[in-house]
Amino acid sequence: MSKVKKAEGKLGVMVVGLGAVTTTFMTGVLMARKGLAKPVGAMTQYDKVRVGKGADKKYLKYDEIVSMATLDDIVFGAWDVYPENAYESAINCEVLKEKDINPVKDELEKIVPMKAAFDKNFAKRLEGDNVKECKDRWDMTEQLREDIRNFKKENGCERIVVLWAASTEVYVPVNEKVHYTLADLEAAMKADDKENIAPSMCYAYAALAEGAPFIMGAPNTTVDIPAMWEMAEKTKMPIAGKDFKTGQTLVKSGFAPIIGTRCLGLAGWFSTNILGNRDGLVLDEPANFRTKEVSKLSTLESILVPEEQPDLYTNYYHKVRINYYPPRNDNKEGWDNIDIFGWMGYPMQIKIDFLCRDSILAAPLCLDLVLLSDLAARAGRWGTQRFLSFFLKSPMHDYTKNEVPVNHLFQQYAMLKNAIREMGGYEADQELD
């Protein structure tokens, strides 16, 4: 029998960033609630998991196995450096057609962003002025905690989930003197250490302190540090991250296993993207791109491992580029050139050109991550939720113990299904090899 607490009452979904991804996510949920759109791409709404074997085998949707919050339960809130409400932002972002936004205009207009906790040094290309006045990083965190408490009370929410869907911050290297223990992290916040404490860390700390799961949808260091793992354990809250796996990395994590399973060799993999939305603008700054580059580069190396197959994967060249190109706006193009070799070392090439829509792919991930993080909290699962790696570009893992993340898409999918089975009181019976 499932030991998951029932999903009763309203679920507050508080999103950092009210840009293209978030407004597409919100509009889609609100339209689906009215029966005017379908939540295509959301595993929680469509996927089925096998439970049992032999004569007892059956395929069930997630909410038939465990108690899940419904779309009707969700109440949206947001923080953003720009003051425009969700309707205005959705129109400005030009991801969705106006005719697909207008039916929920009234609801979107009521979603007015709270002032953001922001430091321009972490996103130099953003110019918004809807920003909190903070004495220091600790004050920043306390103000965010108050926002969460007020939102929960004013909207009558039983539970809150906080999701980062804002821009990529400047790369923050892990500093053992600051990021390894909760005591050191808190001391750095109180000392207003602006170099080692990114604003996103204040959001994460505030969420966990207020009993809300936190999801990192960008490649920021934020919760990928031992101090935050300690905080998640202390508060018994789930954390997940990092970086939504939408376009190119989704392709990479699904296609690299084809090369590995077929025992073909890899000489090089060159990936480039053109993107024209606000995320592309921020990533045009080298320090911000560095954060994304670390995330994107990590996928391949744990799937095609030189030590496991030295004849096939020694010294392959892997490069990733993102280019800001305003005419393309949210319609991202991910282009991959893959140089492989086969029998007797003869070279071959594969070209993949993925003309995708960034926010259209990210919106269902937001829904899945929110609903599954809420599920994890009700199931008493705290700390890093490795079963959510399926949705993330650079899955969190305990690097202090040399743990290797699972980036292989089909192994990640097995982890996801096993977790749903376990939480539903069934046997986790799918192997990961």
8 A C-beta contact, residue 44 and residue 68: yes
- Whole-angstrom distance, CA of residue 69 vs CA of residue 368: 11
What was the pLDDT predicted at 104? 98
pLDDT in tens, 81-107: 999 999 999 999 999 999 999 999 999
- Whole-angstrom distance, CA of residue 97 vs CA of residue 89: 13
Number of other CB atoms surrounding residue 153 within 10 Å = 9
Helix (H, G, I), strand (E, B) or coil at 177: helix
Q: Measured between alpha carbons, how far is residue 402 from residues 277, 325, 397, 399, 405 in Å?
A: 36, 38, 9, 5, 9
What was the pLDDT predicted at 402? 92
Please list the ranges in the chain whose pLDDT falls under 50: none
Residues near 40 by Cβ (< 8 Å), separated by ≥ 6?
A: 46, 364
- Whole-angstrom distance, CA of residue 156 vs CA of residue 92: 30
What is the set of domains in the chain, with CATH numbers?
A: 10-244+359-423 (3.40.50.720), 248-355 (3.30.360.10)
What was the pLDDT predicted at 296? 60
Residues near 375 by Cβ (< 8 Å), separated by ≥ 6?
A: 4, 7, 66, 67, 68, 69, 423
What was the pLDDT predicted at 295? 61
What was the pLDDT predicted at 146? 98
DSSP labels, 379-397: TT--EE-GGGGGGBSS---
- Whole-angstrom distance, CA of residue 376 vs CA of residue 151: 22
What was the pLDDT predicted at 289? 65
What was the pLDDT predicted at 161? 98
User: Residue 79: beta bridge partners?
Assistant: 16, 114
